[in-house]
Structure 1
């Protein structure tokens, strides 16, 4: 029996999650189908555009993504603090970008008078909207459902486009987060769909590399903010150029199937995370195969298991061996 989603997503433990949606029967419904000879490459752009749009509506940031031919990877950060700062009007306006709401919320959005006997009902609805705008399940639902409808309309058929449940994996610390992001960013290189990260279409690393050349960071993604310090802004606690360099050099090693060389600047991230280079290459090659549950150091995994009152520490041996 699958684990209930509310037990998989625990914001008390971590704000970061690796989510994967796969096409039904893992068919190539977003790429070049080798069986039918049809090309559905344009659907990858649909998924990418929709995901980035949702990140501007939900209180959920995208750290990394890769839109593949038969599945989608997303590394997400849930921002509970941000959603609590939104006014009631902003919550309703954001929700109405995705769904129609009801007559009461539509009147509220237009600035029309709300009777006193309607106020409690409106407050309850807005509270529910606020909860949904910070919910990964609603984010994935708002992503997958429109894509499925568009694809079925294009194919002139009905039925499932995605598998019933998306996979959700808790990333408990910085080591797990950066390793998972690099794994996601390097998906097209490992699949031999691209020779280099910057040539990987429909990925976050391509956006980040393009932005680096302009001395900027992509507005659609959670930014890198450098090393930890007091009064830190929201973002990833690493240097963007170091991360891009690390992913690029890792991609070269993976493509040539040999040990390769990782420069001192790029390896600085691994040193801070206490991840040996050999372990890093294993993580960025086989992250999904190595871990089926929460990922992190032994300490963070133990805290997670205690918090959820689980006697079995699933995956602790693998985590201990790979995360220092």
Structure 2
């Protein structure tokens, strides 16, 4: 029996989630399909562009992504603070990026005189949209529906393109977030279609490395790195970018040592800070998709009542 989405996604438990969508019938999202003799590589661009466009409109940040041949991974951050700070006009403009607004909202945007009842109805609609701008379900719906429609149009067919609902995992603490992001960014390397993070096409890690080489702080559409947790820390992923890139490289070498050789005995600073032993980190980074939440024992126990669950399946990481 499927689990209610409200029991899987709750910002009070954690704002970070790892989501996966897979194609039906072994269909190809992108890449080369030997059975059909067709190349669908261009569809990677479709999903990357749609993903980043949605991130610019929604109050949901993209921390990591990897687009594979018949599925994709994304790590998302729900930004409630951003949604609360939006003015009514900003909420409307963001929502209407992907939707047609009702006539009442159009009149409101044109500055027409509305009755008190009409004004109240406008505010009700705007607050509904404000809430949806932080909904991963709405975010993923607008992503998957668009890609499915484009793919079916290209294939000249109808029917389901995705395997039902997307899968989501709650990332309950820093360790879980780092493990999930590294797992996502290393997908092409583990699948033996890339040799290094900087050559992994359609991944967030390649986009970050490219931006870094061009003296940019963060690629457009991706969530920023805020550095080590500290007083008055700005909004962002609680690691340093360079530490994270070193962590991804180290983990990739261990998971695919036949392609990358041996690693130096020096471990990356982020690994030491998160308190992982090498064997535990490799287990976590290799099997991150198991279960519906990832976190330390303490984080899992604290999150269970918030997610309305008595027990959880997933990976339990050691407390620091």
TM interval, shorter chain, is: over 0.9
More helix by share: 1
Distance in 1 separating the partners of 2:200 and 2:124? 44
Secondary structure of 2:34's counterpart equals: coil
Matches within 5 A, 1:23-172: 23-172=23-172
Q: Which has the higher contact order (CA 8 A, sep 6+)?
A: 2
Report Cα offsets for 1:206-254 as digits up to 9, x if no partner. Answer: 0111112233222321111211111111111211111112212322333
Match in the other structure for 1:260:
262
Match in the other structure for 1:282:
283
The answer on whether the counterparts of 1:26 and 1:71 sit within 8 Å (CA) in structure 2 is: no
Match in the other structure for 2:181:
181
Structure 1 residue 131: Cα displacement: 1.0
Match in the other structure for 2:11:
11
Structure 1 residue 261: Cα displacement: 1.8
Secondary structure of 1:237's counterpart equals: coil
The answer on whether the counterparts of 1:212 and 1:241 sit within 8 Å (CA) in structure 2 is: no
The answer on whether the counterparts of 1:223 and 1:236 sit within 8 Å (CA) in structure 2 is: yes
Match in the other structure for 1:271:
272
Report Cα offsets for 1:99-146 as digits up to 9, x if no partner. Answer: 012111122223333232311111111111111111000000110111
Match in the other structure for 2:302:
303
TM-aligned CA distance change 1:148 to 1:302, over 3 Å: same
The answer on whether the counterparts of 2:250 and 2:268 sit within 8 Å (CA) in structure 1 is: no
The answer on whether the counterparts of 1:250 and 1:262 sit within 8 Å (CA) in structure 2 is: no
Report Cα offsets for 1:154-177 as digits up to 9, x if no partner. Answer: 111100111110001100000000
Distance in 2 separating the partners of 1:41 and 1:126? 39
Structure 1 residue 190: Cα displacement: 0.4
Give ranges in structure 2 of 5+ residues lacking alignment. Answer: none
RMSD, aligned α-carbons? 1.8
Give ranges in structure 1 of 5+ residues lacking alignment. Answer: none
Distance in 1 separating the partners of 2:96 and 2:265? 48
| Greater mean alpha carbon deviation, residues 180-189 or residues 25-34 | 25-34
Structure 1 residue 309: Cα displacement: 5.2
Secondary structure of 1:72's counterpart equals: strand
Distance in 1 separating the partners of 2:255 and 2:195? 10
Match in the other structure for 1:293:
292
Structure 1 residue 16: Cα displacement: 0.1
Structure 1 residue 308: Cα displacement: 4.2
Distance in 2 separating the partners of 1:235 and 1:305? 25
Instruction: Return the TM-score normalized by structure 1.
Output: 0.93
Match in the other structure for 2:196:
196
Distance in 2 separating the partners of 1:55 and 1:292? 26
Aligned partner of 1:319 among 304, 310, 316 = 316
TM-aligned CA distance change 1:101 to 1:65, over 3 Å: same
Instruction: Return the TM-score normalized by structure 2.
Output: 0.94
1:242 aligns with 2:243: yes
The answer on whether the counterparts of 1:57 and 1:94 sit within 8 Å (CA) in structure 2 is: yes
Distance in 2 separating the partners of 1:284 and 1:277? 10
The answer on whether the counterparts of 2:292 and 2:312 sit within 8 Å (CA) in structure 1 is: no
